[in-house]
Amino acid sequence: DAYWVSLCKKTWNTDDGLQKIHYSQQNESKRAGSHSETINVNEFIAFYNSVQGEDIDIMLEVKDKNLSAVKCINSLSPVKAINKLEKEWSKYKYSVLEKSKQGYDEIRQLLKNKNEYPAVEFYTVIEHAMLKEESPGNALNAALHVWGYFKEAAQENEKTNFLALSSAYQNGGATLARMKRLLFRLAEKYSQEYLLDSYYFDL
């Protein structure tokens, strides 16, 4: 890759600005040339370093678009501010908890030291968590955390519906998507912007 990028750079003039390239990763479960669902941060960092990426304008070709863009920007940022990762965690936390309690705990531990900036480690844990198969125990745990944002305000019929649906999901009688649709409607009804701004209902 570095060889071809370097070769193409010779066609660039000063007036053209930074060299521009498109970057993608192969989706291993699809035909050759299919873009991955997300950018693997370690693979991207290795590529970036190999082509001296600070002198190149890189456009990502990936299914999750801005999520991967923010991931890569934060991982390469010269400003090592932990609040960037804390803001990202507020969006990812319940999606990670839904997939992996271990991953959730690992990230909480990573973010404890406010003087460090473990961006690559942070995103690596998220990537590993999101690859895990659905686990009813983990998914229900996350759903109950989300339910906690409005369980006091919820009407009796809403409480009954959620408890019945969560029980049905636990016993294989309802899907996770159905349970999350109910939680999404309640988050909208009770204006829980923290949840609506998160990735819980999207990932």
- Cα-Cα-Cα-Cα dihedral sign, residues 94, 99, 101, 102: negative
With H, G, I as helix, E, B as strand and everything else as coil, classify residue 60: strand
Distance CA 78, CA 88 (A): 17
Return the ∠ at Cα 130 (arms to 126 and 144), rounded to 5°.
95
What is the model's pLDDT at position 18? Answer: 87
- The full DSSP string for 116-168 is ---HHHHHHHHHHHHTSPP-HHHHHHHHHHHHTTTTTTS-HHHHHHHHHHHHH
Place of tokens 């899907």: 175
Tell me the per-residue pLDDT of 66-94, one tens digit each, with 9 for 90 and over: 999 999 999 999 999 999 999 999 999 99
Of 52, 123, 134, the closest CA to residue 92 belongs to 123
Tell me the per-residue pLDDT of 134-184, one tens digit each, with 9 for 90 and over: 999 999 999 999 999 999 999 999 999 999 999 999 999 999 999 999 999
pLDDT greater than 80 at residue 53? no
The mean pLDDT value of the chain amounts to 95
Virtual CA dihedral for 150, 131, 46, 107, nearest 10 degrees? 40
More confident residue, 170 or 11: 170
Name the pTM for this structure.
0.92
List the chain domain ranges: 2-75, 80-130, 136-196
